[in-house]
Structure 1
Amino acid sequence: MRISAAQRTENENRIRAAMDRLLRGEIPPGEKCDIKTLAREAGVDRTAFYGTRPYAHLRLEFERRLQTLHYAGEIPDPREAQITRLKAENTKLRERLAQSEQMIGELTDFRTQALARLAAQHEEIVHLRGAADTAAANHVIHLPAARKTTIGTCS
């Protein structure tokens, strides 16, 4: 069925208005910022946006504007924004987890080395004490007892 030039202009105006609303983030609940929602909001058949159909140029314009917003860091679709945010958060958490696992490995190695050093030092102390006790038993010299002196007494 052919439409008149006035109807086509009216449809294009509705499509552009719906396009502006969607790109501002005014997305109906449960919908996305996509051609399907654009067609539904404008009251136009979705197939009219593809191939050589009458509104294919508007689909290209919509996709270009949407891509421009994405490059600028603005995401009109709250679900897409949430997905992007969650993916970034997931990446950060994975990095933190990898850093934590690396730190745990390093600290475990340090603990193992510290315990080994402490055990070696303990063994050395026990050995030196034993050697000192043996040497002391063989070479003990008793010093004379200290004399008591009185200082500053006059008789």
Structure 2
Amino acid sequence: MRITAAQRTANENRIRAAIDRLLRGEIPPDGRCDVKTLAAESGVDRTAFYGSRPYADLRLEFEQRLRTLQQAGEQPDLRDAQITRLKKEITALKHRLADSTATINQLTEFQTQALARLAAQHDEIVRLRAAATSDSRVSRLPPRAATIGSSN
């Protein structure tokens, strides 16, 4: 069924009004900022926006204006804005997790090295004490008497 010029003009006006509403962020609860919602909001069959159909140029205009807004940093669809924000947050959290894991690995390696050094020092002290008691050439000095208030 063919439509008259007046019906086509009325449809185009409804479509342009729906485009403006969607790009301002006035998106219905069950919709998104897309051609499907545009068709539903304007009361025009969605297939009329594709190929060589009568409103394909309006779909292209809508998509171009939407891209322009997105490139300017605006997101008319709050769900898409939230998805974008959450993706950035996930990326930042992944970087923080990787940094934390690297720090934990460094600290674990440091702890392992410190424990190994302490064990080696302990073994050396034990060996030196054993050598000091078994060697007759070494004589022990009497412990130094601690005096209160004197400076040597």
TM over 0.5: yes
Cα distance, 1:140–1:111 mapped onto 2, change above 3 Å: closer
Distance in 1 (alpha carbons) for counterparts of 2:138 and 2:28: 98
RMSD (Å), alpha carbons: 1.8
Distance in 1 (alpha carbons) for counterparts of 2:100 and 2:39: 49
Structure 1 unmatched runs, 5+: 144-155
Cα distance, 1:131–1:54 mapped onto 2, change above 3 Å: same
1:113-151 CA distance string (max 9 Å, x none)? 01000111111112222223334x5454889xxxxxxxx
SS at 2:51 equivalent: coil
- The structure whose Rg is larger is 1
Residue of structure 2 equivalent to 1:18: 18
Q: How many residues of Structure 1 are paired with residues of Structure 2 in the alignment? A: 142
Residue of structure 2 equivalent to 1:50: 50
Q: What TM-score, normalized by structure 1, do the two folds share?
A: 0.84
Residue of structure 2 equivalent to 1:60: 60
Distance in 2 (alpha carbons) for counterparts of 1:43 and 1:139: 106
Distance in 1 (alpha carbons) for counterparts of 2:56 and 2:76: 22
Structure 2 unmatched runs, 5+: 143-152
Equivalent AA in structure 2 for residue 58 of structure 1? L
Equivalent AA in structure 1 for residue 17 of structure 2? A
Residue of structure 2 equivalent to 1:104: 104
Residue of structure 2 equivalent to 1:34: 34
Distance in 2 (alpha carbons) for counterparts of 1:141 and 1:83: 76
Residue of structure 1 equivalent to 2:72: 72
